[in-house]
Amino acid sequence: MNARQWILLLTLASLWGGSFFFVEVLVKALPPLTIVLLRVGIAAAALHLYLLWRGEPLSWVHWRVYAVMGLLNNAIPFSLIVWGQGHISSSLASILNATTPLFTVLVANWLTSDEKFTPARLAGTGLGFAGVAVMLGGEDIGGSALGQLAVLGAALTYAFAVVFGRRFRRLGISALHSATGQLTGSTLLLLPVVMVVDSPWQGLSISTTQWGAMLALALLSTALAYRLFFSLLASAGATNVSLVTLLVPVSAIALGVLVLGESLSGREVIGVVILGLGLLVVDGRLWQRWRQSKTPHP
């Protein structure tokens, strides 16, 4: 990747890492589903305005695809992560969320014909989940363990979304329309649920700082992040964009430690290292470069 693409990648990692920080600020004031609805609703509205400004309003011909993608890529995983962060730190949530590529390897092997296991993917997945087991080890089945399992459930849902999302290209739907459609779909799906479960009309007690976190979560970590993601996907390719998985926890942990005063236990640090090694093995690029360096050249 060139310098511009690296800047975009690091910016995207910071925005998505910041989402865990913003959620940590909001879980003290709002119910999880209300946070998610505001996040996707505000982001969807912003992207619709952007599309109108470009003269490319969203078509609803593929509304069923938008609804399914909104459910798998936004509504379910966002809700699980927000609920999980009510029980674990933002730092740990971001680390567990980084297991998405591991789950994607499993789901793709099961549901696709062209993304089957390779020795490297199988070894990396096993190593990554060993790291997760270390992080979960010693936890009683209480709030903390359930919070970790909720975030792992979100990562699994993201994996299904990745595989399902392959059809957007086959349908000829642009990346920006895909993002706008799925966020709109998740907003419409969540709205009646939130009305019944959270009854937001009864009044919300939220400070100016928390409103700022909400707007940052929706506009920066969702709407702008999707815009950068799809721009980078088009210019650098899916393999390079996947590096963001390794970088998101770095910014999330930095914010959690420096601003929120969070910390990781020794067991969690060991688990992070093992998980990171597993992700590097699944990614495969370091191994390929090492093999190339050992190959004699004429």
Q: 280: how many CB neighbours lie within 10 A of its CB?
A: 16
Residue located via tokens 């976190």:
213
- Mapped onto helix, strand or coil, the DSSP state of residue 247 is helix
Instruction: Give the amino acid at 28.
Output: K
- Mapped onto helix, strand or coil, the DSSP state of residue 243 is coil
pLDDT classification of 294: cutoffs 50, 70, 90: low
Q: What is the pLDDT of residues 112-128, one digit of tens each?
A: 777 777 777 888 888 88
Task: Look at residue 246 and tell me whether its pLDDT is greater than 80.
Answer: no
Q: What is the pLDDT of residues 173-213, one digit of tens each?
A: 888 898 899 999 999 999 999 999 887 767 677 888 999 99
User: Angle between the 3-26 and 225-236 helix axes, to the nearest 10 degrees?
Assistant: 150
pTM for this prediction: 0.87
Q: What is the pLDDT of residues 59-91, one digit of tens each?
A: 888 899 999 999 999 999 999 999 999 999 898
Q: Is 87 left (phi over 0), alpha (psi -120 to 50) or beta?
A: alpha
Q: How far apart are CA 124 and CA 221, in angstroms?
A: 29
CA angle 265, 266, 270 (to 5 degrees): 120
Task: Look at residue 264 and tell me whether its pLDDT is greater than 60.
Answer: yes
Give the model's pLDDT for residue 14.
93
Please, how many CA atoms are within 13 Å of residue 220, restricted to the half-sphere of its CB?
Answer: 18
Task: Look at residue 19 and tell me whether its pLDDT is greater than 70.
Answer: yes
Q: What is the pLDDT of residues 148-170, one digit of tens each?
A: 899 999 999 998 988 888 777 77
Range 17-23 average pLDDT: 94
Lowest mean pLDDT among 67-71, 114-118, 130-134, 245-249: 114-118
